[in-house]
Structure 1
Amino acid sequence: MSTTTTRSRGTPAAADADSKALLDVTRCAADLALAKGASEAAAGAYRARHVEVAWRDGKLEKVTEATTRGLGLDLYVDGRYSSVSTSDLRADALERFVEDAIALARTLAPDPNRRLPDPALYQGQSTIDLDLEDGTYGALDASARRRAAEAIEAAARGVPGAGAILSVTSSVSDSLGESVLIQTNGFEGTRRSTDFWIGAEVTVKDPDGRRPEEYASSGARHREDVEAPEIVGRRAGERAIARIGSTKGESAVMTMAVDARASGRLVGALFGPLAAASIQQRRSFLEGKLGAEVGSPLLDLRDDPLVPRGLGSRRYDGEGIAARPFPVFEKGALRSYYVDTYYGRKLGIAPTTARASNLAWRLGDRSQPELLAAIGEGILVTGFLGGNSNGTTGDFSLGVRGFRIRGGRLAEPIGEMNVSGNHLDLWKRLAAVGNDPYRYSAMRTPTLVFEGVQIAGT
């Protein structure tokens, strides 16, 4: 049996007891499934604790603390497949749950492609210490969370021009999660992780009566990697005040830079159609493009699940497949789809993994200010508002806000504008990649620069 554990060093004994209980109930569910008539089964259980403090305009607005748990069961019965879940993990309830689930599975149509992964895919798992759990998690108390929330608001209200601020909402949250996955053909894995996040939303008053909003946030697996509350609050305040006086710019074909924080919207629209389900169901504009050039040579990135402390890091995926880095785009050419075992069988393609982990970009050597100086005239997009992207055709139309670039510097704020086109054209216009990957997303997108983009305004 392939067995793996991903956790921190120095985990307290009480946590070890909880982990054992979660492992025991998962093993019990898998054993029950076989005993009640399933030929194969995959059991996955989880427990998560989440705490959040919301602070608004000098007052405590909300405090929530919740611990949730549950179990999911994939059943393979007489060539049929069923996926069910429950939050009642008591022994007697679990037995009834499994019996009913297997009876339900027997009523479904057979599907010969539904079965557990080849056990060979479980092998070769990395032994790297991903360091996903902060051992000091239990030391964080209510007073510390509240002080951080207050400090965020104070910093936002302390920036120049703060007289225009109407409201500040700050938040501080943290979570501890644990999961167990057992596949009855030879896989058993457990993992624990922590997350810490702080953020602020600031609303300001524009002289014309509008109320622009902006935000800033910071998060990490370990508390020490989160920015100071004062930095996040100040950034949120500055961003909101910079929106005052926003105008609708003129329509033009121009160079478009997309801020690292915002470029994840474009990358997400590009990656969605890479899913094997979309390929098999012919709902992807990237169908049949494997090996083809779909972007400029600067579109160069890989999927890397083995980044220590990474927000998307893992040693194995949701099917127990050993996690490995692999290229997604190389110098503009599409190299891989995201393929799970089910759709891989249908397509005749070897599985990679069903979902993205961390994206590792081939970065440029220039900062955003240096990129703007080279652009001279254009637009910096700092946010996308509404709109849509069609995964089947590649057509997109998105509302944008940001700033005009004049003389290589940021000029007046702009909004209520629109960018439209097709992804197969847009990514071939990628002209520069920044050196500034956004740390607070597993996509880790840098500033991206596209030439000759149609921007609609006045």
Structure 2
Amino acid sequence: MTKEEKYTLAKWAMNHALENGAQQVSVSISNSTGSSVEVREEKIDKLEQAIQSGLSIRLFVDGKYSAHSTSRMKKEDLARFIEEAIDGTRYLSEDPFRTLPEPELYYKGGGKDLGALDANFNNIDPKTKIDLAFAAEQEVLGKDERLISVSSSYYDGLSERVMVTSNGFEGDTANSYFAIRTEVSVKGGDARPEFSWGESAIKFNDLKKDGTGTTALKRAIEKIGAEKIKSGTMPMLVENRVVGRLLGPVLEAINGASIQQKNSFLIDKLNEKVASDKLSITDDPFIVGGRGSRLFDGEGLATKKRSIFDKGVLKTYYIDTYYAKKLETEPTGGSTTNIVFEPGTKDLEGLIASIDKGIFVTGFNGGNCNGSTGDFSYGIDGFLIEKGQVVKPVSEMNITGNMKTLLMNIKELGSDVKTDSSVRTPSILFDAVDFSGS
């Protein structure tokens, strides 16, 4: 189905809903395609391709709201589907806060190309994909006698969507991605250290096509002999690629739902200092080639570049139309785009060199954070640092504390910003973190 055909069908579905009793309607039609290849022991272990399409409709009927989706795309099927959805919505309770956004907040078009799509996505032949997976595996096979297993994967995906609303919004998006990942396990005494490493890109020609196997093997071998060390309070350096796992609860705490439901340790903290002066974060939807770049959000609201933290001061919450009405404020958008950390001046090696004794965290194993209080406990893997040198691997240790304290204890951010993610994080050094070990 072409983009024009999607728009035509979406508008028809919207009008059919209006004609059958809905006062407001939002319709999205999307399609996606993707493929994956996994190889193991020099054989193809899995080969998959998926193609999906569907229509989603949000209905506002007599002060009541419901959302529905279907893969049936014929008008006669859709007509019955929409009519039954409207009839069912009438049985729901009224919710006066459920409405479409105000039209003046919508994206009006004319935005720049954000580089989110590889126009040649469909021109990558299957043999090329298979060869890339095998090449990643070959980087590992025969390279070390401690090797137990290796598997490598290639995968890609493309998604397209058009959306229309009954109060004037029309917009469409298209995104693609390509990725290679290798997982390795090795012999290490009673343990089987393992590690996986991936590379990804929006466009095929930008994909780093070698190195995943070599890196995964090296990182797995480095974990051999990992053990607990003595419990204590010490600096914690978190590698850039896992910082997002640690700070995810912070983003959840500034979400409108968490604020309205009073399930946030950052409630009523807007324009207050809640973190170290070192922490400045911007939400920038307009980075060309950014993984989270977009011109409008899931409701059609125009995106804006805005500050989240400015030298430790909390500057915004993520609030969609529904929670904005409940909180009696203006919507800011209900989800993140590109989370951009202001980097420091030291690279990873420089941060390590600055630590007299501490732990370099390279992975998290389970754990949780209480959204209301900010109390957390996480299992960690990593390395002991002494006198500015990595001396041995550590594992089976936990960190515990409170997110508000952790944010205040940010000592330094690195210059090693990870750009192949919508959360563009550098490595971060925290002071005085409680580690539980032997």
**1:222 equivalent in alignment to 2:207:** no
Q: What is the CA distance between 1:53 and its match in structure 2?
A: 0.4
1:83: Cα distance to partner? 0.9
Residue of structure 2 in register with 1:27 after alignment = 11
Alignment deviations for residues 40-79 of structure 1 (CA, whole Å, 9 cap, x no partner)? 1000111000100011121110000010111111101111
Give the residue type in structure 2 aligned to 1:313: S
How many pairs are equivalent? 438
What is the deviation of 1:158? 5.9
Q: Which amino acid aligns with 2:50?
A: A
Matches within 5 A, 1:134-173: 134-157=118-141, 159=143, 162-173=144-155
Which segment drifts farther, 107-116 or 20-29?
Answer: 20-29
Contact 2:199 2:208 in 1 (8 A): yes
Q: Tell me, in whole angstroms, the C-alpha distance in 1 between the residues paired with 2:108 and 2:90.
A: 35
Choose which of 76, 85, 99 in structure 2 pairs with 1:92: 76
Deviation at 1:123, TM superposition (A): 4.5
**Is contact 2:237-2:429 (8 Å) kept?**
yes
Judge conservation of contact 1:125–1:316 (CA < 8 Å) in 2: no
Cα distance, 1:125 vs structure 2:
5.5
Among candidates 77, 80, 83, match of residue 67 of structure 2: 83
Partner of 1:55, secondary structure, is strand
Q: What is the rounded CA distance, in whole Å, between the counterparts of 2:332 and 2:141 in structure 1?
A: 48
- Residue of structure 2 aligned with 1:330, choices 310, 314, 320: 310
How does the TM-score come out when normalised to structure 1? 0.94
Alignment deviations for residues 363-398 of structure 1 (CA, whole Å, 9 cap, x no partner): 111100011101132110000000111111100000
The residue type paired with residue 240 of structure 2 is A
Question: For the residues of structure 2 that align with 1:28 and 1:18, how far apart are their CA atoms?
Answer: 15
| CA apart distance, 1:94 | 0.3
Contact kept? 2:107, 2:303, Cα under 8 Å: no
Contact 2:364 2:379 in 1 (8 A): yes
Q: How does 1:47-446 map to 2 (within 5 A)?
A: 47-123=31-107, 127-157=111-141, 159=143, 162-207=144-189, 209-228=190-209, 230-446=210-426
Q: What amino acid is aligned across from residue 160 of structure 2 in structure 1?
A: E
Q: Distance in 1 between matches of 2:128 and 2:43?
A: 16
What is the alpha-carbon distance in structure 2 between the residues aligned to residue 128 and residue 364 of structure 1?
30
The CA deviation at 1:126 is: 6.2
Give the match for residue 13 of structure 1: none
Instruction: Report Cα offsets for 1:300-344 as digits up to 9, x if no partner.
Output: 101111111111111000010001111111110111000001100
Amino acid of the structure 1 residue aligned with 2:216? A
Whether contact under 8 Å (1:137, 1:194) holds in the other structure is yes
Helix, strand or coil at the partner of 1:156: coil
Unaligned runs of at least 5 residues, structure 2: none
Mapped partners of 2:251, 2:215: distance in 1:
29
SS at match of 1:286: coil
Give the Cα–Cα distance (whole angstroms) in 1 for the partners of residues 10 and 168 of structure 2. Answer: 14
Question: What is the percent sequence identity of the aligned residues?
Answer: 38
Cα distance in 2, alignment partners of residues 94 and 158 from structure 1: 56
1:397-425 deviation digits (Å, cap 9, x = unpaired): 00000001122121101000000100000
Partners of 1:425 and 1:227 lie apart in 2 by 38
Q: Distance in 1 between matches of 2:391 and 2:8?
A: 61
Distance 2:213 2:36 in 1: 17
Counterparts of 1:172 and 1:23, CA distance in 2:
33
- For the structure 1 residues 259 and 126, does the alpha-carbon distance in structure 2 shift closer, same or farther, using more than 3 Å as the test? farther
TM-align CA RMSD: 1.2
Q: CA, structure 1 residues 383+126, in 2 after alignment: closer, same or farther (shift >3 Å)?
A: farther
